[in-house]
Amino acid sequence: MNYTNLFRIALKALANNKMRAFLTMLGIIIGVGSVITMIALGQGTQKSIQAEISGMGSNIIMVHPGGDRRGGVRLDPSEMQTLKIKNYETLRSECMYLAAVSPYVTASGQLVCGNNNYPSSVTGAGTEYISIRQLAVEDGAMFTEADIKTSAKVCVIGKTIVDNLFPDGGDPIGKIIRFNQVPLKVIGVLESKGYNSMGMDQDDIVLAPYTTVMKRMLAITHFNGIFASALSEDMTDYATAEIRTILRREHRLKDSDSDDFTIRTQQELSEMLNTTTNLLTTLLACIAGISLLVGGIGIMNIMYVSITERTREIGLRMSVGARGVDILVQFLIEAVLISVTGGIIGILLGCTACIAVKFLAHWPVYIQIWSVILSFAVCTVTGIFFGWYPARKAADLDPIDALRYE
Amino acid sequence: MGNKVIELQDIRRDFIVGDETVHALRGVSFTITEGEFVTIMGTSGSGKSTLLNILGCLDTPTSGEYLLDGIPVRSMSKSQRATLRNRKIGFVFQNYNLLAKTTATENVELPLMYNPEISSAERRRRAEEALDAVGLGDRKEHKSNQMSGGQMQRVAIARALVNNPAVILADEATGNLDTRTSYEILMLFQKLHSEGRTIIFVTHNPDIANYSSRNIRLRDGHIIEDARNSSIRSAEETYRSLPKDEDN
């Protein structure tokens, strides 16, 4: 069989019906274009979330008090008072795999400075907290161990707090702000981190020595949690195991007892978020895939119409010596040409759309090579699959009937 | 006498329509030798279309044997017959059956497109030769919708010639044309006949028999007359004797 000639014949047939061929392609163009754009958007979101998470510190380990049962009554984990200063100090002195450890207590209330006020919360932390959370002091200085020891009434504040309490643009360093009647002296301003991917303002933060928050504001002896960072990301698992061992010993838990605390790592969080965004990507890809399917059905539909319309032509071709298989291959080539050309245009359109979204809407997009290859392969298969049945029908025509078809 | 191009031996063709069997051909036998110009005539229902389909290898007889250029056709598969048509037969239809939006040359090239042994340069050359032979040397790049009926039929004849067939089968080839153009086409067929081509012209128009070398008449699936024409009229003379078209 002469495929070159059949290819020429198919090309000519399409060229004779440019508008129709283009409209048929449109289904595939939209299908492929949307598959690529959707996957790029989904992947872009995932990448940006991953970047945010590692920006928060990829090796963060968070220890929270666990839920417990006292005489059959389940207690709220945040009410648990199991994490104490002593636990923190043991962790700090004994842990080999930890680069930094800091307690974590929060108190919420109203911040007041002069005639400005702002609702926020004060985070009681150790000096290492800023390195764990990858924060940086832009102006002034972080409080010191001495401040912790003396429960000093000092604080380090974020940009949002500065903007709200000092709207005139005055230098906040050295000023006194009041939090629930406790006056705190601003000794440092943190570098701005902006919003994170979950929409939380990372600059809405007031850091104070944990002793100050515990003793002067809340009058408690336990923490809300302990933050730590492992020496490196791949040591997170060792560090977690180490913390678990130490805390179980400190809390005098028997082997049969379950942990009265929970340890969560940033990795878990990122895995959890990945699952969510993967689901999102899959959903988007499914919707796009459906439009590709609809495009394929469009091809089948048009091929049917085209074959009915060209019955006489098929009859003529058969009478001058085209075999059934020649007719079959000709119409298959036509269908595949439509779908593959549509696919290529769709890929170009999808990539253009991605770039446009990136520059105009500033959404994170990330074009996946596999999505391009996949959608191209799917188009070709679509062309063959949906072209086959009409082409078969054409090939099975009887030349005598086809020639007489009116 | 030249070679036998077509040999029919007791050809029968039955069609089953509902519960009834229709006998379209009831035992037709004849032989056509190279260089004959045969008209096959008959009224509608006489079986001439069925006979044409069998001669053109589009259909196979229910019984009897058909040898085309010495090759038995009845036992052939569909695609073998397609290849046989491609190499041995040239069709000319009443309604021309040209491809729309396609140039004369491309239309003429069509049969050769299905012959993988012929290169594209060879195909082009032969198509142009065939167009020259039918007097359309100046219309090679005209599209089918830019031509008159007579010109379209000439393109169709060129297409039938291009594969150098053993036999040209014309099915009412002048049926759609006015009188003058009909004679022009008949002149062309007579010219091809004089060049040694074998032509079978199926028609219901008895006048055409005067211009052929042999006439076969069919009625109800039988041959009722098979006569050689001793006094072949010249289509050219008839054409000249026609009153000139007033528009020209």
Predicted confidence (pLDDT) per residue in B24-51, tens digit:
999 999 999 999 999 999 988 888 989 9
Q: What is the rounded end-to-end Cα distance, in angstroms, of chain A?
A: 30
pLDDT at B204: 87
Asked whether B5 and B166 are in contact (CB, 8 A), the reply is yes
Q: Specify the pLDDT at position B105.
A: 94
Q: Does B244 touch chain A (CB under 8 A)?
A: no
- DSSP character for B25? E
Residues whose CB is less than 8 angstroms from the CB of residue B190 and which lie 6 or more positions away in sequence, other chains included: B37, B211, B234, B235, B236
Are the C-beta atoms of A277 and A49 separated by less than 8 Å? yes
Residue B181, C-beta contacts closer than 8 angstroms, at least 6 positions apart: B148, B149, B150, B153, B174
Strands (E), A154-212: 154-157, 176-179, 182-190, 206-209
First to last CA, chain B: 44
In chain B, how long is the greatest CA-to-CA distance?
A: 56
Instruction: Specify the 3-state DSSP secondary structure of B160.
Output: helix
Which distant-in-sequence residues (6+ apart) come within 8 Å of B10 by Cβ?
B27, B28, B29, B63, B64, B65
Q: What are the start-end ranges of the E strands in chain B? A: 4-17, 20-33, 37-41, 63-68, 71-72, 89-92, 167-171, 199-203, 214-219, 222-228
Q: What residues of B are in contact with residue A319 (Cβ under 8 Å)?
A: 56, 58, 85, 91
Is the CB of A320 less than 8 angstroms away from the CB of B101?
no
Q: Is A2 on the interface with B (CB under 8 A)?
A: yes
- Tell me: the pLDDT tens digits for B8-20? 999 999 999 889 9
Q: For residue A98, count CB atoms less than 10 angstroms from its CB and return exposed for 0-12, middle for 13-18, buried for 19 or more.
A: buried
Contacts of B208 (CB under 8 A, 6+ apart): B39, B41, B174, B186, B201
Q: Which helix (H) or strand (E) holds B14?
A: strand B4-17
- The C-alpha atoms of residue B47 and residue B62 are separated, in whole angstroms, by 14
Interchain proximity B86–A12, CB inside 8 Å: no
Q: Are A215 and A83 in contact (CB under 8 A)?
A: no
CA B235/CA A8 separation, integer angstroms: 40
pLDDT in tens, B175-217: 889 999 999 999 999 999 999 999 999 998 888 999 999 999 9
DSSP H helical segments within A310-368, as ranges?
311-319, 324-356
In eight-state DSSP terms, residue B46 is S
Contact A311, A402 (CB under 8 A): yes
> What is the pLDDT of chain B when averaged over all its residues?
91
Does A319 lie at the interface with B, CB-CB under 8 angstroms?
A: yes
- The angle at the Cα of A358, spanning A355 to A364, to the nearest 5 degrees, equals 125
Contacts of B110 in chain A (CB under 8 A): 316-317, 320
Could you list the pLDDT tens digit for every one of the 406 residues in chain A? Answer: 578 888 888 888 888 888 988 988 998 898 888 888 888 888 888 888 777 777 666 678 888 887 665 556 666 666 677 888 888 888 888 888 888 899 999 988 888 988 888 998 899 999 888 888 888 888 888 999 999 999 999 999 999 989 888 888 888 898 899 988 889 999 999 988 877 766 778 888 999 999 999 988 888 888 888 998 888 777 888 888 888 888 888 888 888 877 888 888 877 777 777 788 788 888 887 887 888 888 888 888 888 888 998 899 999 999 999 999 999 999 999 999 999 999 999 999 999 999 998 888 888 888 888 888 888 888 888 888 889 999 999 999 999 999 888 7
Residue found under tokens 């309490």: A165
Distance CA(A161)–CA(B181), nearest Å, equals 98
CA distance A406 to chain B (A): 11
* B104-163 tens-digit pLDDT: 999 999 999 999 899 999 999 999 999 999 999 999 999 988 999 999 999 999 999 999
Residue B99 touches chain A, beta carbons under 8 Å: yes
Determine contact, residues A74/A67, Cβ cutoff 8 Å: yes
Domain boundaries, chain A: 3-52+272-404, 83-259
CB A270 within 8 A of CB A70: no
Distance CA B171, CA B155 (A): 15
Chain B positions touching A320 (Cβ under 8 A) are: 85-86, 91, 110-111, 114, 159, 163
Q: Which of B110, B113, B123, B203 is nearest to B155 (CA)?
A: B110
Give the torsion through C-alpha atoms of A262, A265, A269, A270, to 10 deg: -160
For residue B232 the two structure tokens come to 């072949």
A-to-B residue pairs, Cβ atoms closer than 8 angstroms: 68
